[in-house]
Structure 1
Amino acid sequence: MKKILMTLMLLISSVAFADEPVSKSYFGSVAISGVDTIAYHQLKGKKDNQAMMGNSRYSVEWKGANWYFVSQQSAEKFAADPARYQPNYNGFCANALSLGEGLIKTDGSVWAFFDDQLFLFYSEAGRQRWLKGDWKSYNRQAKKAWLQQLH
């Protein structure tokens, strides 16, 4: 019964967010190159900043993309509250958005948390810009650009 309810919740939320773009592969519609978005949250604050690749066996479809996870437990955790674990801007480069460069896909390997929110970057240079600069201002600019992309 629990699995049926989770599936139903995902279907409803998928319809609501179907028009929202996700950074995904051209083939197979895999979100953020198959990196497990739950793993970022487990690595938060640790020195090892390596992204963990998910497995297609543990896949959740959400927002028109397939999100991969390292375990069934991670997949279920995401399915129960995808908005909590998804990266900001659905995995598109936060730095590119803040610079007005549009939706630049990421591969999930460059990331950082700011105010407990996950952001992905196309390159380490963009991540460093946010780490060393005024990330709050950059995020306001990125949000504005993101909203323009949605309309």
Structure 2
Amino acid sequence: MKYAMIVCFMLVSVYAGEKKDFIRMDKKGVAVDGYDVVAYFVQGKPTKGQDKFVQEWRGAKWLFSSSENLEKFKKSPQKYAPQFGGFCAWAVGNGYTAKIDPTAWKIVDQKLYLNYNHSIQKQWEKDRKNLIHSGHKNWPKLVKKHLEKKSKK
């Protein structure tokens, strides 16, 4: 029984690690379409990152607009990384994933949420609390679906 519990714990740990690697990125492996995720919090606006300020994290390349923002991210990446792997918060709240427009964003309870476009963001804002709650419920299922699809390749 003890051995089974250890194996079960190890599998849960591996799965938990994989879940975190479901990050939306472009063909070059860049997250958030190359926007600096720290800038949303510090500068209060979307800011394009630069290739010279890059950090690999959870299988993606994250670009930053300054060395200061890069250092902040290195110290606490989970604080700045967008929710739902950088996918559209409205879509995840409705049970699927979609790309984002980095200029359609909102920080809620110190967490960054991105949306498909400004029109979708307006819809998300109307029911934000419920869509965030639904998104957190849907996210593990979407990750599992992604991992199953990935393992079949």
Do both share a fold (TM > 0.5)? yes
Q: What's the counterpart of residue 129 of structure 1?
A: 123
RMSD over aligned Cα, in angstroms?
1.8
Q: Which has the larger radius of gyration?
A: 2
Distance of 1:126 and 1:113 partners within structure 2: 16
Q: Give the aligned partner of residue 80 of structure 1.
A: 75
Structure 1 unaligned blocks of 5 or more:
1-15, 45-49
Partner of 1:92 in structure 2?
Answer: 87
Unaligned stretches of 5+ in structure 2? 1-16, 145-153
Match of 2:139, SS state, is helix
**Structure richer in helix, relative to its length:** 2
**1:118-142 deviation line (CA, Å, top 9, x unaligned):** 10001112211222x2311111111
Matched, 1:141 2:142: no
SS in 2 for 1:112: strand
Give the secondary-structure state (helix, strand or coil) at the position aligned to 2:102.
coil
In the other structure, the counterpart of 1:59 is 54
CA contact (8 A) 1:110 1:120 kept: yes
* Cα distance change on mapping 1:81 and 1:99 into 2, 3 Å: same
Secondary structure of the residue aligned to 1:23 is coil
Q: Deviations over 1:32-61 (max 9, x none)?
A: 1100000000244xxxxx410000110000
Quick one: distance in 2 between partners of 1:141 and 1:150? 14
TM-score (norm 1): 0.78
Q: 1:41 to 1:17 in 2, by over 3 A?
A: farther
More deviation in 112-121 or 81-90?
112-121
| Contact 2:19/2:143 (8 A) holds in 1 | no
SS of residue matched to 2:23: coil
The more displaced of 134-143 and 60-69 is 134-143
* Aligned counterpart in structure 1 of residue 99 of structure 2, from 86, 105, 113: 105
How many residue pairs were aligned? 129
> Counterpart of 2:124 in structure 1: which amino acid?
W
TM-score for the superposition, normalised by structure 2:
0.77
User: Equivalent pairs: percent with the same residue?
Assistant: 30
106-115 or 50-59: bigger deviation = 106-115
The residue that corresponds to 2:7 in the other structure is none
